[in-house]
Chains A and B, each alone.
Chain A
Amino acid sequence: MTLFGYKLPALSSLLLWAMVWELVGQLQLTFFVPPFSEVMTTLVSLLPTPAFLQALSVTAAAFGTGVFFAIVIGIPVGILMGKSRILDELLLPWVNIFLSAPLTALVPVLMVLFGFGARTVIITTSLFAIWIIILNARAGVRQINRSLVEMARSFGASPLDAFFKVYFWAALPEILGGVRIGVIRAVKGVIIGQLLISIVGFGALFELYSSKFLMAEFWAVLIVLFGLAFALSEFLAYLEGKVSYYASSRG
């Protein structure tokens, strides 16, 4: 965006929205929206507290583990579905159902099955992320140029070699696209899991702040989470951009 001939840095429009927020807060229209400056001061003082750091580390651990399983299971399953007709017909309906299903409704069932702890949060995170990762890996494999597959065969690639040296790389742009969307969904998964269980991580913090009407703290944590999710997504988009050069030149 340019303004009066100056090129504005990315995200500078956020400044404007921060000003609107500050204004609404200063007018004291509702206790629900404290001024932006107050939220930021709270944020700075909140960051080093043990409660926040503990919530962050618990959440990061659950998130990381959940995403790890979603990727490690999702990519091979997607690639296999793309290569095997039978597997595809067996699994595709389920993948599509779970992709569009309101998974939040499943969390109480998971709590019964796996308890009120990290395990349920991890599984929720994986469940949020895995389906789109599977679908994208499958789509990536299905669009692999047929002659690239024939090339691998004619030069004597074993199925394992073909998988790791050709199919995976040929599908990488789509796979990374799936991982990026999956990771964004995983952020929702980890927070929703914690909120519903409400005694671990940020779920516990949100529960505490909202029940005691500590709105500045509530918004501060929310901003941190939004920022982390956004940074994560941008980082993955950057990685995706690194391989997109060959997405267009595949052929």
Chain B
Amino acid sequence: MSQIKPDARHVTSATDSAVSVRNVSKVYGDVQALKDLTLDFPRGELTSLLGPSGCGKTTLLKIIAGLLPATSGEVLINGKAVSGPGPDRSFVFQDFALMPWASVIRNVAFGLELRGVAKSEREAVAEKYIAAVGLAGFEQKFPHQLSGGMRQRVGLARALSVNAEVLLLDEPFSAVDEQTRRKFQEDMLELVQKEKKTFIFVTHSIEEAVYVSDQIAILLPRPSRVSEIIRPSSFRDKGVDNIRRDPEYLDIVDGIWASLRSYVE
């Protein structure tokens, strides 16, 4: 298990980072949601933001997405500061955020529709990603005809179809049942390998974070900060079936719980 202490976290050089968060603070009224937070997200890897509720992980994700302005500090995507949402990032929402009046294919193609891509072209792309998330045959269905897990697959396909470099996932599996969740996590690993994108993944599940991540950033509240960055090293290539009983996996899960335990009310 390789743990990088906070003061050593600039070891990864800036060129390797798809996303860099530099000294970001966020204040809501008199509540300090984030304080002087600095964090790098290596290109092509999945980084989890993990922490107890109220640690500002979703706030950080929305700042990276450009949906919330930072009070101070900056977010760099490939070295360029972001000032709002952009085509280089796409977002997967906790509550799916599908348009209930639109079919699956229109939902998935919506990002491209907003960019003015011609209908036949965007539907071809959408069809490809609908199939990629395992929903082939459901193109003409409507969200209310799908289960929660299938709806989130639509949300995932929509985020993939705009071909953004960075995928931001806000607790994407928290609203689906446990078994669907496990399947999702396995699919995520495959997706990260295949898509060569940078994934930023917010979760409050320790097991989920350790299972899917190349890098785990532990965020602690009051004041919100990055307390630890963990990079699991050995179990990623052992296959989806063996990860959960790998000694390193279990050690990391236990270690994280030991450091988070005191923050859980």
Interface residues of A (CB under 8 A from B): 145, 147-148, 150-158, 161, 165-166, 169-170, 172, 243, 245-246, 248-251
CB-CB under 8 A from B67, the residues of chain A are 150, 153-154
- Known contacts A154-B67, A156-B111; A172 and B101 CB within 8 A of each other: yes
CB-CB under 8 A from B102, the residues of chain A are 169
Q: A158 CB to closest chain B CB, in angstroms? A: 8
Number of B residues, CB within 8 Å of A: 29
Partner of A147, one of B95, B110, B144: B95
Q: B246 CB to closest chain A CB, in angstroms? A: 35
B114→A157 contact, CB < 8 A: yes
Q: How far is the CA of A172 from the CA of B102 in the complex (A)?
A: 13
Q: How far is the CA of A248 from the CA of B144 in the complex (A)?
A: 9
Q: B146-179: which residues lie under 8 A (CB-CB) from chain A?
A: 158, 162
- Known contacts A156-B87, A156-B114; A246 and B101 CB within 8 A of each other: yes
Q: A246-B143, A248-B144, A250-B100 are in contact. List 9 more A-B contacts (CB 8 A).
A: A145-B97, A147-B95, A148-B97, A148-B99, A154-B91, A155-B85, A165-B110, A165-B113, A169-B101
A166→B97 contact, CB < 8 A: no
A154→B144 contact, CB < 8 A: no
Q: A29 CB to closest chain B CB, in angstroms? A: 55
Q: How far is the CA of A161 from the CA of B113 in the complex (A)?
A: 10
Q: B195 CB to closest chain A CB, in angstroms? A: 18
CB-CB under 8 A from A169, the residues of chain B are 99, 101-102
User: Chain B: which residue is nearest A166 at the CB level?
Assistant: B99
CB-CB under 8 A from A156, the residues of chain B are 85-87, 111, 114-115
CB-CB under 8 A from A154, the residues of chain B are 65-67, 85, 89-91
B97→A147 contact, CB < 8 A: yes
CB-CB under 8 A from A152, the residues of chain B are 114
- Known contacts A150-B67, A156-B86, A161-B114; A245 and B91 CB within 8 A of each other: no
Asked if B93 is at the interface (CB within 8 A of a chain A CB), the reply is yes
Q: How far is the CA of A101 from the CA of B85 in the complex (A)?
A: 45
